[in-house]
């Protein structure tokens, strides 16, 4: 992300909104203006900021709980309105910051601290494919799912992030990159095992690739 | 002896995840014997002249702890 | 015009560029007014948000960008906004929040009530914080205090609540707008506008070390002390030789004034104190008044909330009686007059 911001010369205009959860310390890692906001409200705060100051390149950096649990309404509606914001959605299938509880994206049978017997679809529902859901809205114009568990995937992630920012710069609509990310500590694996687990298990449920791209068809308003 | 590439690993950033070790195509990285201040065994570079500066290690490092020099 | 629309017109004239809200009776005229005036205006934004939770966070975002932003709702919606207000207060971000309160608790009634006084003045969300709370009691005051709210919010970097009610919002009275909309408003110096030519800044509320958070709390409260000193306002009516002082705010004060005038006409020495800043509450004025008047009758359209502030201010030096009607019931001046005269008779206040 920082490489993209640097290469696209966005450092003066980028404003990041990391809400609570895994993303909350993001402001220590990015040397751009940033503002923390309430858990789940990233899309709404970003909406307000971009509407008030459209010259900014506004991005949110949200985990799966923030975006797909408490923030579902705000995310769907910001996408539906086609807000010119870019959302970086970090999907690690657990609530990492708080110690590994179930997330909306937790896989079936996956054990977490609140699904100690494995996620049961009858009691806990199944993993939410929020990116596919967002693709159904008119305002979402570019959604891609990538991963960071190999050099090739990391490079594809960077390309996707770049395209997402370009979508905002071109004033086309809402853009989102979902990034499957390892959480070795809460998955109780070594880092290498966690990278493999993404390939072996997560990608089956969350396939990589472009989920929606209508940027070619849109004229900038 | 001229080397096409070399890397520098920040010992204190490194958390010993060993991802760079498993991805280096020339197997030039190994865990160090000495612990860092956080108690991890950081990765350590074996500068034997074979590094091509491909930068795969730097790309995969989750801590951004590796700098790659070429030429 | 009606009170709700007067707030809207005053906000536009104060340079409000962003309005984010959600429909709820009895303030929809305000949301609709802002839709008409802001949604197609260049440089402005109107969003009917997906919920009040979203609306207050959108205000947060716009305020970060240094722009005048507001939201409005009524009691249950304001409850939803409490988390967001706590964050605004913690960040030190200006914002204007209008509560046209209705009967509660729960979904309540759509009629006017004053049962959100605690919620507004005690920092209704989590944590130690305060917001300025203004208590208008006429359509003219809704307009004047809306303009004042934006100025106070910017001056002290604090959220400001306008505590109206359903009746004030719906009633129509003549109103004069004393301000023209500004051509352009200066952007707040601490706004987030991209780190061009300066170090990047981040605005957060999380503290890793309790000692840091302690200092943040102290600095907020130093600001509150200054606001108490400089911005407390109130109105008095015939208090000079009063044997009984009625204390009321908002629409209740309009009703009470009729009762007080009636009492005066009947030879009873009754006066009225009407706070217009509910936070900061005019405690000093109460302490001054009790030197010559020992009896206070607090009248609210609730089960009694402001009465506690009066009792606190009196520090036991006076006697406080209370008359209230909750649930959105609108008492009449003659009803209040009966309470006043009965009280005067009981206490021998002739």
Q: Which helix (H) or strand (E) holds C54?
A: helix C52-64
A85 interfacial to chain C (CB closer than 8 Å) = no
Q: Which of C273, C272, C262, C274 is nearest to C341 (CA)?
A: C262
Contacts of residue C209, defined as CB under 8 A and 6 or more positions apart, other chains included, come to: none
pLDDT at A76: 97
Task: Report the C-alpha gap between C255 and C251 in whole angstroms.
Answer: 7
Instruction: Give the start-end residues of each E strand in chain C.
Output: 18-21, 45-48, 69-73, 95-101, 132-134, 159-165, 202-203, 234-237, 244-247, 270-275, 277-279, 295-300, 319-324
Count other Cβ atoms within 10 Å, centred on residue A136.
11
pLDDT at B1: 47
DSSP state of A200: I
What total of structural domains would you count in chain B?
A: 1
Closest Cβ opposite residue B59 in set A151, A184, A190: A151
pLDDT tens-digit series, residues A95-139: 988 888 999 999 999 999 889 899 999 988 999 999 999 999 999
The answer to whether the Cβ–Cβ distance between C84 and A38 falls below 8 Å is yes
Q: What is the residue range of B46's domain?
A: 5-70
What number of C-beta contacts closer than 8 Å exist between A and C? 139
Q: What is the distance between the alpha carbons of residues A32 and A4, in angstroms, rounded to a whole number?
A: 13
Indicate yes or no: CB of A37 within 8 angstroms of CB of C195. no
Q: How many CA atoms lie within 13 A of B4 on its CB side?
A: 6
Q: Which of A48, A56, A81 sits opposite C57 (nearest CB)?
A: A48
Sign of CA dihedral C105, C110, C114, C118: positive
Could you tell me whether strands B66-70 and B29-31 are parallel, antiparallel, or unpaired per DSSP bridges? unpaired
CB contact under 8 A, A48 and C206: no
Say if residue C26 is preceded by a cis peptide, omega within 30 of 0. yes
Considering only C38-42, C294-298, C318-322, which range has the smallest mean pLDDT? C38-42
> For chain C, what are the domain ranges?
3-195+216-231, 234-347
Phi-psi region of C295 (alpha: psi -120 to 50; beta: other; left: phi over 0): beta
Query: For residue range C75-89, what is the model confidence (pLDDT) as tens digits?
Result: 999 999 999 999 999
SS3 C282: coil
CA distance A13 to chain B (A): 24
Span A206-212, mean pLDDT? Answer: 97
CB contact under 8 A, B56 and A195: no
Q: Tell me the CATH number at B17.
A: 3.30.70.20
Residues belonging to chain C = 350
CATH second-level architecture of C234-347? 3-Layer(aba) Sandwich (3.40)
Tokens of A142: 């570019």
Alpha carbon distance C301, C340 (integer Å): 16
Residue range C139-173, pLDDT digits in tens: 999 999 999 999 999 999 999 999 999 999 999 99
C-beta atoms of A151 and B22 within 8 A: no
Distance from CA of B59 to the nearest CA of A (A): 6
Per-residue confidence (pLDDT) for residue A221, from 0 to 100 = 46
Per residue in A134-152, pLDDT (tens digit) is 999 999 999 999 999 999 9
What pLDDT was estimated at residue C233? Answer: 98
Q: Identify the CATH class of C3-195+216-231.
A: alpha beta
3-state secondary structure of C149: helix
Report CA torsion sign: C28, C74, A77, A37. Answer: positive
How many separate domains does chain A show? 1
pLDDT higher than threshold 60 for residue B2: no
pLDDT at C191: 87
Lowest-confidence range among A23-32, C41-50, C207-216? A23-32
Interatomic CA distance for residues A194 and A216, integer angstroms: 36
Residue positions counted in chain B: 71
User: Is A151 close to B23, i.e. CB distance below 8 A?
Assistant: yes
C72 touching A, CB under 8 A?
Answer: no
Express each pLDDT in C122-136 by its tens digit: 989 999 999 999 999
Is it the case that residue C46 has pLDDT exceeding 60?
yes
- B35 φ/ψ angles, rounded to the nearest 5 degrees: -75, 155
| CATH code (residue A150) | 3.40.50.970
A17 touches chain C (CB under 8 A): yes
Neighbours of C184 (CB within 10 A): 7
Chain B CA closest to residue A156:
B59
- Domain of A185 in residue numbering reads as 2-213
Quick one: average pLDDT of C36-65?
94
What pLDDT shows up at residue B3? 60
C327 pLDDT above the threshold of 80: yes
User: How far is it, in rounded angstroms, from Cα A39 to Cα A65?
Assistant: 9
Phi-psi region of C197 (alpha: psi -120 to 50; beta: other; left: phi over 0): left
Residue found under tokens 């990041």: A16
State chain C's mean pLDDT as an integer: 95
Residue C235's pLDDT is 97
* pLDDT one-digit tens code per residue, B34-57: 999 999 999 999 999 999 999 999
Interface contact flag, B60 A154, Cβ < 8 Å? yes
**Distance (Å) from the alpha carbon of A110 to chain C's nearest alpha carbon:** 31
Which distant-in-sequence residues (6+ apart) come within 8 Å of C40 by Cβ? none
- Measured between beta carbons, the chain B residues lying within 8 angstroms of A195 are 19
Q: Provide, rounded to the nearest whole percent, the portion of chain C with pLDDT above 70.
A: 100
pLDDT tens-digit series, residues C205-223: 888 899 999 999 999 999 9
Mean pLDDT of C257-268: 96
Whether the pLDDT of residue A7 is over 70: the answer is yes
Q: Who among A14, A41, A47 is closest to C53 (CB)?
A: A41
User: Across-strand partners of A49?
Assistant: none
Q: Do C47 and A81 touch (CB under 8 A)?
A: yes
**SS3 category, C159:** strand
Instruction: Write the DSSP symbol of residue A106.
Output: P
User: What's the rounded Cα separation, in Å, for the pair A202 and A179?
Assistant: 11
CB contact under 8 A, C203 and A56: no
Distance from the A211 Cα atom to the nearest Cα atom in chain C, whole angstroms: 25
Coil, helix or strand at residue C312: helix
What whole-number distance in Å separates Cα of residue C157 and Cα of residue C164? Answer: 22
Q: What pTM was estimated for this model as a whole? A: 0.88
Residues 9-68 of B with CB under 8 A from A: 17-19, 22-23, 56, 59-60, 62
CA quadruple C22, C27, C28, C30: dihedral, nearest 10: -100
């Amino acid at each position: 992300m920082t490489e993209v911001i640097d290469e696209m010369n966005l450092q003066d205009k980028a404003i990041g909104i990391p809400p609570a959860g895994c993303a909350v310390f993001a402001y220590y890692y990015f040397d751009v203006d940033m503002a923390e906001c309430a858990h789940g409200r990233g899309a709404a705060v970003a909406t307000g900021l971009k509407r008030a100051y459209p010259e900014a390149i506004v991005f949110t950096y949200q985990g799966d709980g923030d975006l797909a649990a408490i923030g579902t309404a705000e995310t769907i509606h910001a996408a539906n309105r086609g807000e010119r914001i870019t959302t970086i959605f970090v999907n690690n299938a657990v609530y990492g910051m708080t110690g590994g509880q179930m997330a909306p994206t937790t896989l079936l049978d996956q054990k977490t601290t609140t699904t100690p017997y494995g996620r049961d679809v009858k009691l806990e529902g199944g993993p939410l494919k929020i990116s596919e859901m967002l693709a159904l809205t008119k305002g979402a114009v570019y959604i891609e799912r990538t991963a960071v568990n190999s050099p090739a995937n990391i490079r594809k992630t960077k390309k996707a992030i770049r395209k997402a920012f370009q979508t905002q710069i071109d004033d086309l609509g809402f853009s989102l990159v979902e990034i499957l990310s390892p959480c070795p500590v809460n998955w109780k694996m070594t880092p290498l095992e966690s990278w493999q687990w993404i390939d072996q298990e997560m990608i089956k449920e969350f396939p990589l690739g472009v989920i929606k791209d209508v940027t070619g068809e849109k004229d900038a308003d | 002896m001229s080397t096409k590439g070399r890397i520098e690993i920040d010992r204190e950033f490194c958390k010993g995840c060993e991802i760079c070790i498993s991805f280096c195509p020339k197997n030039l990285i190994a865990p160090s014997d000495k612990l860092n201040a956080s108690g991890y065994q950081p990765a350590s570079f074996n500068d034997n002249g074979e590094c091509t500066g491909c930068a795969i290690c730097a790309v995969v490092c989750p801590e951004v702890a590796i700098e790659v020099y070429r030429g | 015009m009606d009170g709700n629309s007067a707030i809207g017109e005053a906000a536009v004239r104060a340079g409000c560029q962003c309005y984010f809200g959600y429909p709820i009776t009895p303030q929809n005229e305000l949301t609709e007014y802002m839709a008409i005036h802001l949604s197609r205006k260049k440089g402005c934004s109107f969003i009917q948000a997906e919920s009040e939770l979203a609306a207050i966070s959108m205000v947060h975002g716009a305020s970060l960008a240094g722009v005048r932003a507001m939201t409005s709702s009524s009691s249950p919606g304001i409850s939803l906004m409490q988390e967001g207000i706590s964050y605004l207060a913690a960040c030190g971000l200006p914002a204007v929040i209008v509560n046209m309160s209705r009967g509660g608790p729960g979904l309540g009634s759509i009629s006017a009530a004053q049962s959100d006084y605690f919620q507004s003045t005690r920092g209704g969300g989590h944590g130690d914080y305060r917001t300025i709370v203004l208590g208008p009691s006429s359509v003219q005051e809704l307009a004047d205090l809306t303009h004042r709210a934006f100025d106070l919010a910017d001056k002290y970097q604090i959220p400001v609540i306008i505590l109206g009610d359903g009746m004030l919002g719906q009633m129509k009275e003549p109103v004069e707008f004393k301000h023209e909309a500004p051509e352009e408003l200066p952007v707040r110096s601490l706004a987030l506008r991209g780190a061009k030519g300066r170090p990047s800044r981040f605005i957060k509320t999380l503290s890793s070390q309790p000692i840091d958070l302690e200092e943040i709390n102290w600095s907020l409260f130093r600001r509150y002390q200054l606001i108490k000193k400089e911005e407390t306002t109130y109105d008095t009516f015939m208090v000079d030789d009063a044997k009984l002082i009625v204390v009321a705010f908002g629409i209740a004060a309009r009703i009470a004034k009729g009762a007080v005038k009636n009492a005066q006409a009947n030879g009873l020495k009754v006066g009225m104190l009407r706070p217009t800043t509910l936070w900061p509450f005019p405690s000093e004025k109460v302490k001054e008044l009790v030197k010559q008047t020992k009896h206070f009758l607090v009248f609210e359209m609730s089960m009694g909330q402001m009465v506690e502030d009066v009792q606190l201010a009196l520090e036991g030096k006076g006697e406080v009686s209370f008359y209230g009607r909750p649930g959105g019931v609108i008492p009449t001046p003659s009803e209040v007059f009966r309470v006043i005269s009965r009280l005067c008779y009981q206490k021998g206040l002739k």
